[in-house]
Structure 1
Amino acid sequence: MAKINGNEIRIGNVLEHNGGLWAAVKVDHVKPGKGGAFAQVEMRNLRNGSKLNERFRSADKVEKVRLEQKDQQFLYETDGMLTFMDIETYEQIELPAELLGDCRPFLQDGMIAVIEFHEEEALNARLPQKVTCKIVETEPVVKGQTAANSFKPAILDNGVRVMVPPFVGQDEDIVVNTETMEYSERA
């Protein structure tokens, strides 16, 4: 494990802090008028899901943990637990569905997700950055509407509501960025 300074913490970093493994969810670098700068870090515990807000000064040293990443295929969900299978060894693991948070509706049958392990313990799951979805409901195209940056609401086949450009119609496949939950392009 590597030690990093408090001002080097980035979103997605996994830190060993107070005897637990924490993922940095939100990082704000604050430069107050008086005193030294610090990083305000919102962290989520990878084992129990609790949240913690912590301040790290640039002089503070933090243990950065490197997680082993494996591609695994999503099989099914039962009682709030997601079952994934290692595509090489066919071993199956279960992870709680709330790990995915807002991205949960984008998980599709047979999808390959990246599962992060720490010493053989599965801790986290990440979906592909871009997922293809079908639009089931949106407003029709209005002729002559050419204003730049105009978007209209659309509901996807997984129930998620996104904003799409006016030229995209109903029953079309689009690519959605799972990190920002925004329209990316036509499929």
Structure 2
Amino acid sequence: MTQASSLRSGMCILHEGDVCRVMTVTHRTPGNLRAFVQVRMRNLKTGNSFDHRFSSTEGVERAILDTVPMEYLYSDGEGHHFMNQQNYEQIVLSDDVLGDSLLYMLPNAVLKIDFYEEKPVGLELPQTVVLQVVETEPGMKGATASSSYKPAKMETGLVVQIPPFVEAGAKIEIDTRETKYLRRV
């Protein structure tokens, strides 16, 4: 058991029987009241995010996950196929397990799949990915790196706000945590 006050972003805990990944943690001590910890979590089984308030001294059970690097092979009607890099064993994951992560994945990418009690419960995306812009509005003449942005569709279907000087066909680096343009590659 871990105290709620020692929770950190990225930890996995058991909450109401489900494995959840902690996304944000805020410690609060309002006026005359006892301190509490406000936690934003994502249920790894359903993909839903929610907030929960713990007493700062409340015990929280950490979930021990096995993380296995696996190569994303392809998707078909059955699901999304991954191959274990060590023993070449293949598994099929559903949309429910992957959630929005699909928008950041290209075939042959090596990703870390999280297993809890030998069942896949989610995956860890790298902090950044490089994707190609397939559709965007044409850049305006004289456009500079100002605060104006335009929507762009990536090769995976992801839509990201990009600066006006980036054209279709360009490869860009994207922050997977915030779905944010970082730089042109």
Name the CA shift for 1:138/1:13 in 2 (closer, same or farther; >3 Å): same
CA shift, 1:49, in A, is 5.0
Tell me the equivalent position of 2:88: 90
Contact persistence 1:73–1:85 (CA under 8 A): yes
1:15 to 13, 16, 19: 13
Tell me the equivalent position of 1:31: 29
When the two structures are superposed, what TM-score results if normalisation uses the length of structure 1? 0.83
- The Cα RMSD (Å) is 2.4
Pairing 1:34-183 to 2, within 5 Å after superposition: 34-47=32-45, 49=47, 53-79=51-77, 81-146=79-144, 148-183=146-181
Contact persistence 1:112–1:127 (CA under 8 A): no
Name the CA shift for 1:140/1:77 in 2 (closer, same or farther; >3 Å): closer
Contact persistence 2:143–2:165 (CA under 8 A): no
When the two structures are superposed, what TM-score results if normalisation uses the length of structure 2? 0.84
Name the CA shift for 1:141/1:61 in 2 (closer, same or farther; >3 Å): same
Residue type at the aligned position of 1:172: A
| Structure 1 segments unaligned to the other structure (5+ residues) | none
What is the total number of aligned residue pairs between the two structures?
A: 185
CA distance in 2, matches of 1:170, 1:159: 14
Report sequence identity in percent.
36
CA distance in 2, matches of 1:134, 1:38: 44
CA shift, 1:51, in A, is 5.9
CA shift, 1:148, in A, is 3.3
Deviates more, 1:39-48 or 1:82-91: 39-48
